[in-house]
Amino acid sequence: MKNLTSLLALAAACIAAPATADPLTQAVKADLPGLTTIYRDLHSNPELSFKEGRSAGIMAAEAKKLGFDVTTGVGGTGVVAVMKNGPGPVVLLRADMDGLPVTEQTGLPYASKNPGVMHACGHDTHMTSWIGTARRMAAMKDSWSGTLVMIGQPAEEIGSGARAMLKDNLYSRFPKPSTVIAFHDSASMPAGTIGLVDGYAMANVDSVDILVKGSGGHGAYPHLAKDPIVLASRIVTTLQTLISRETDPLESGVVTVGSFQAGTKHNIIPPDAKLQITVRSYTPEVREHLLDGIGRIAKGEAIAAGMPDDQLPVVKVQDQHTPATFNTHELTSQMQTLFTERFGKDRVLPARAQMGGEDFSEFYLADTSIQSLLFWVGGVRKDKWDAVKGDITKLPSIHSPFWAPDAEAVISTAVEAMSAAALAVLKK
């Protein structure tokens, strides 16, 4: 009986052990109050793209204190913190730093102090987790070997910061990574959960402008004019067939006309109309088909409307293209296993690829031999998630003035996940 009792006690201890005794989990828990203070300060002081000087300064100072070799001003306001710790792979961890031109309406006591600017995408949770991860990696230096490159990236919201850092020779001035990892907070997953997608995770983002030319005139005499509003309307309608009739149903894409502007008055046929379109895709083939198709449809409809060759629509694809984010299979499956073991099945949820854009993709596309992963960390407070029974249409999305993530849950989960991921790749 005694033996059985001690056996049961031992079994109970073993079952309880992983949740309480893991040194990384414990260290993250102990550091959370300090990290929360940093988070609230960053949240109160959001900065717009390429103006993240204060945020970058906080990250740089923290990394310096921990013994990283720190360089600021990379690609504008970017921070690069390098820790060389013996032979082994080079792992790059990235946090983006910019806020958005949004007026915060969360009512939080630590809401934005900068009028019209808000961390509505949660990049403040990314920066804080970056600091937390740097602390853990410095403290656990004996457990890993290799080089850690931690970067604070400017201007993700305008899709320019990653490119700016690479253009500033990120991969030649500093050790070039064999693995790149980042996370993003999620407004569509419960707090403290993790989501990974193998393959395409976020979309190619293109912006297209169309100037639809017509021939203006009096609204009472349409036969004497060429009405650009009717022509542009036809273009908008025919564009809907690019996805529904021309794209393989098993592929994905979006063509949204977000702006249609023309005219000044009831009885005047204007000389032209302007369309602004966002185009989303994953593969290069679908992207090319959609962009070519927009030009073909605009031209074809204008010809059908009787516009002469020198009056056809002017279609301009903007240069600022954000490429699709691709999670490489080897790293994604390694981390899926690692996170499931560490956090349990209940906290590692199946995630879906999204049609949003992320310029994290640039760090992989600069050299596709790199292993790359962007994962999501859920940020919706448990009480809010339960109240709507997980119906995310009833919750504020990221970029909403009401988005207030459960920051403690995001930060503690992200620090643990990022540290565990880096430790696994940099295993001795």
CA distance 119 to 21: 35
- Token couple for 16: 């309880």
How far apart (Å, rounded) are the C-alpha atoms in residues 35 and 135? 10
Site for Zn ion in 234-273 (CB under 5 A): none
Task: Mark 97-136 with x for binding to Zn ion (rule: CB under 5 A) and - for no binding.
Answer: ------------------------x---------------
- Interface mask toward Zn ion for 305-344; x: CB under 5 A: ----------------------------------------
For residue 309, give the DSSP letter.
G
Whichever of 212 and 395 has its CB closer to Zn ion, that residue is 395
- What mask of x and - would describe binding to Zn ion in positions 8 to 37, judged by CB under 5 A? ------------------------------
CA distance 251 to 286: 8
Active site residue 98: yes
> Is 246 considered catalytic here?
no
Give me the residue label for tokens 């009739």: 245
**Max Cα distance, the chain (Å):** 103
Please tell me which residue in 98, 185, 206, 362 is annotated as part of the active site.
Answer: 98
**Smallest distance, Zn ion to C-beta of residue 382, A:** 22
Closest CB 106 distance from Zn ion, rounded Å: 17
Identify which of residues 239 and 380 has a Cβ nearer to Zn ion in the complex: 380
- When CB distances to Zn ion are compared, the closest residue is 121
Rounded-to-10 torsion of CA 194, 42, 160, 77: -130
Q: Which of 294, 308, 293, 300 is nearest to 214 (CA)?
A: 308
Residue 63 and residue 74: Cα distance in Å, rounded? 15
CA–CA separation, 342 and 420 (whole Å): 9
* Number of other CB atoms surrounding residue 333 within 10 Å: 13
Between 226 and 280, CB nearer to Zn ion: 280
Q: Which of 47, 104, 156, 416 is catalytic?
A: 156
Minimum distance of Zn ion from residue 263's CB (angstroms):
36
# chain residues binding Zn ion, by CB under 5 A: 1
How many CB atoms neighbour CB 103 within 10 A? Answer: 14
Least distance (Å) between residue 135 CB and Zn ion: 23
Q: Which is nearer to Zn ion, 38 or 121 (CB)?
A: 121
Closest separation in Å from C-beta 123 to Zn ion: 6
**H or E element in which residue 4 lies:** helix 2-21
Tell me the closest approach of the beta carbon of residue 187 to Zn ion, in angstroms.
Answer: 10
Residue (161 or 313) nearer to Zn ion, CB: 161
- Give alpha helix (H) positions in 159-257: 161-167, 170-173, 228-244
Question: Nearer Cβ to Zn ion, position 28 or 121?
Answer: 121
Phi, then psi, of 378 in degrees rounded to 5? -65, 140
C-alpha span between 424 and 338 (Å, rounded): 8
How far is Cα 240 from Cα 390, in angstroms, rounded to an integer?
31
Residue 170 Cβ vs Zn ion, minimum distance, rounded to whole Å: 20
Identity of the residue, 56 or 121, whose beta carbon is nearer to Zn ion in the bound complex: 121
Query: Which residue's structure tokens are 């099945």?
Result: 345
Residues of this chain that interact with Zn ion (CB under 5 A) are 121
Return the active site residues: 98, 156
